[in-house]
Amino acid sequence: MTIPQTISAAATDLASDGWVRVASIDDLPLLEGRRTTIDGHRVAVFKLVDGLAAIDAVCPHKAGPLQDGLVADNCVTCPLHDRRIDLATGQVIGYEGAVHVHEVSQHGDDVWVRLSHAPLADTSAEADAERLVPGDAMSDPHSSVPDTL
């Protein structure tokens, strides 16, 4: 059996409450992602050991394809620069930025996704707190070391 690298929402049934059928459960290999497009939004869908996850497929750093990332510990690692994104919260771990976490559900063999349009959490303060330590370049106003990565 050939497993498609991209699952298609083109032939989906659009439910009245916003749920879109995106795949058969058999199209999703364990601990791998597949990309679909719903209403113009690229969404990465993952089959985890204990369920499913769906997040924006575009990394907030430099648009890496998150569906191609490695999955471990309920996170996906972006294949471009190795930033990890929590699949439950959408937060980029240790950096500012986040992606939407979409609702995902399995009914029979069908996998359904409903887009979230909730505002993304502002993680800049949390990320700054992780980067700033005493003696860091940010605490020295005369330092020539850039304060962002």
Beta carbon of residue 56, minimum distance to ligand FES (angstroms, whole number): 12
**Separation of alpha carbons 55 and 101, rounded Å:** 4
Tell which one of 62, 88, 126, 132 touches ligand FES (CB under 6 A).
62
DSSP string of 91-109, one letter each residue? BBTTSS-B-PEEEEEEETT
Q: Which of 34, 47, 83, 102 binds ligand FES (CB under 6 A)?
A: 83
> Which is nearest to 52 in space by CA: 84, 83, 29, 19?
29
How far, in Å, CA of 131 to CA of 149, rounded?
10
Quote the tokens at residue 28: 């999703």
Total number of residues binding ligand FES (CB under 6 A)? 9
**CB 51 to ligand FES: min, Å:** 24
**Angle at alpha carbon of residue 37, lines to 17 and 35, rounded to 5°:** 120
Q: Does 80 bind ligand FES (CB under 6 A)?
A: yes
Residue among 52, 82, 88, 50 nearest 66 (CA): 82
User: Which residue, 64 or 90, has its beta carbon nearer to ligand FES?
Assistant: 64
Among 20, 23, 46, 64, binds ligand FES (CB under 6 A): 64
The yes or no reply on residue 84 touching ligand FES (CB under 6 A) is no
- For ligand FES, the closer CB: 22 or 78: 78
N residues, the chain: 149
Binding site for ligand FES (CB under 6 A): 59, 61-64, 78, 80-81, 83
